[in-house]
Structure 1
Amino acid sequence: MRTPLMAAAFAVCALPLQALDLGKMTDEERAIFRAEVRAFLIEQPEVLVEAFNVLEQQQAANQVSADATMVQVNAQDIFDDGYSWVGGNPEGDITLVEFVDYRCGYCRKAHDEVKELVESDGNIRIIVKEFPILGEASTASSRFAIAVKQKLGDAAYEAANDALIRLRSDVNQVTLRRLASSLGFDAAEVLDHMDSDEVSREILQTRQLAQRLQISGTPTFVMQDEMLRGYLPLEAMRQLVDAKRG
């Protein structure tokens, strides 16, 4: 039951912030006020839950707004950097960008679903950005994929991307040479190019872009003006595509 003093305390809380000046209270009034607030929250903890829910909603809304601004500022590097692989429908009305790490479990989970989304829709442009963040095996995988793209072209890159995301063995010179041969590539040409400045430059540029976008995990997607941080099931992705089309 709310006491008269408690009611008075919350009436004070409802006043404009400048009207609530604890510094002008006596020590006794301040102690009573704090005790009543504490008692109220203990008796009705759902108020705290409600407050935390409101805070989370506000933070989520702020993040969406901040993400949209970052996407707008970095649009050229996100959607038309001149080096990232572009697939799907190049003239599609929806562009989906994925920052991927081949050793990331959720990237592997998302791979076939993203592929299904793009193929079944038919009007989505997909861009893949190599973003190795999980150690040496991740970096070697991305270097291999980029070397394939730079030396052998987009079709070869798509095949390498698909093979690398499914690769479960250790990533080293032996397995990559074997993988290149299995895909019909000139293994020596690809492996010799992996440590080139051109490959290093592409990885560095993508890392710098990810830093500007405050991306620290994979998969991270950009769909039109919106950043999607983390794995999303296929149906959720389809719903977002529909929403973007209005």
Structure 2
Amino acid sequence: MTRITRREALTGTAAAGLVTMAGFSFWPGQSAAQDQELTVEDVLFDPANPVMGNKDGDVTIVEFFDYQCPYCKANHPILKDVVENDGNVRLVMKDWPIFGAPSILAAQLALGASSLGQYKTASDALMETEGRLSKELIHDTLTLADLDVSALEKAYEDSREKWDGLMARNSRQATLLGLQGTPAFIIGK
């Protein structure tokens, strides 16, 4: 019986229909011009992007997600288990709010939480919600997670240029990668 290593399992993206060229995975149909506009560094190492797990991990998982995406929410506990049980996985969270105003608000408040060192708490709480988000549900969820929504709003506003720039870069990267929705994962390079 052949045993598959953690690295082989995590980087086994060929079975998912991805093509690898020059050490970077991208979807079939992506033009060479698009490939030249996006680097591995852009996607894996944007210094503004929140990182969970081992910041120096030997395997990086990038997740493009939306807090209203039911598939993102369903996969989040599994992803958290992989990160926690392995101990050497670097999880890059790409807030990509594509489902409207509540998604944008949730991302803004989670990124505000990042400014305060509370991103994981905010993100985990928002991922545990059920159904469509509303302003009230977002505020109630974050409050129940012992987060001060007013402080998150202020932290976001104080760094608005940084966080808006990050979400714009995440959206641009998703477009250049040809992503069609959330969740979308990039594992390794």
Structure with higher Rg: it is 1
2:28 aligned with 1:64 = no
2:86 aligned with 1:121 = yes
2:103 aligned with 1:138 = yes
Length, aligned pairs only: 162
Residues 2-23 of structure 1, C-alpha deviations (whole Å, 9 max, x = no match): xxxxxxxxxxxxxxxxxxxxxx
**Which residue number in structure 2 is paired with residue 91 of structure 1?**
56
**Which of residues 144, 150, 170 in structure 2 aligns to 1:188?**
150
Q: C-alpha displacement at 1:92, in angstroms?
A: 1.8
Letter in 1 for 2:61: L
SS for the counterpart of 1:108 is helix
**Which residue number in structure 2 is paired with residue 26 of structure 1?**
none
**Which residue number in structure 1 is paired with residue 8 of structure 2?**
none
Percent of pairs with identical residues: 28
Unmatched 5+ residue regions in structure 1? 1-56, 226-246
**Which residue number in structure 2 is paired with residue 19 of structure 1?**
none
C-alpha contact (below 8 Å) 2:68/2:133 kept by paired residues = no
Q: Distance in 2 between matches of 1:177 and 1:138?
A: 13
Q: C-alpha displacement at 1:141, in angstroms?
A: 1.3
Q: Distance in 1 between matches of 2:36 and 2:119?
A: 26
Structure with greater helix share of residues: 1
Q: Distance in 1 between matches of 2:185 and 2:47?
A: 18
Q: C-alpha displacement at 1:210, in angstroms?
A: 1.2
**Which residue number in structure 2 is paired with residue 239 of structure 1?**
none
C-alpha contact (below 8 Å) 1:95/1:125 kept by paired residues = yes
Q: Distance in 2 between matches of 1:102 and 1:119?
A: 21
Q: C-alpha displacement at 1:89, in angstroms?
A: 1.7
**Which of residues 57, 79, 82 in structure 1 aligns to 2:47?**
82
Q: Relative contact order (alpha carbons < 8 A, sep ≥ 6): 1 or 2 greater?
A: 2
SS for the counterpart of 2:178 is coil
Unmatched 5+ residue regions in structure 2? 1-13, 27-34
2:76 aligned with 1:111 = yes
Q: C-alpha displacement at 1:164, in angstroms?
A: 0.4
For normalisation by structure 2, the TM-score amounts to: 0.75
Q: C-alpha displacement at 1:192, in angstroms?
A: 4.0
**Which residue number in structure 1 is paired with residue 178 of structure 2?**
214
RMSD of the TM alignment (CA)? 2.5
SS for the counterpart of 2:19 is helix
Residues 67-98 of structure 1, C-alpha deviations (whole Å, 9 max, x = no match): 62649952111111011111212222111111
**Which residue number in structure 2 is paired with residue 179 of structure 1?**
141
Letter in 2 for 1:90: K
Q: C-alpha displacement at 1:199, in angstroms?
A: 2.8
SS for the counterpart of 1:96 is strand
Letter in 2 for 1:68: S
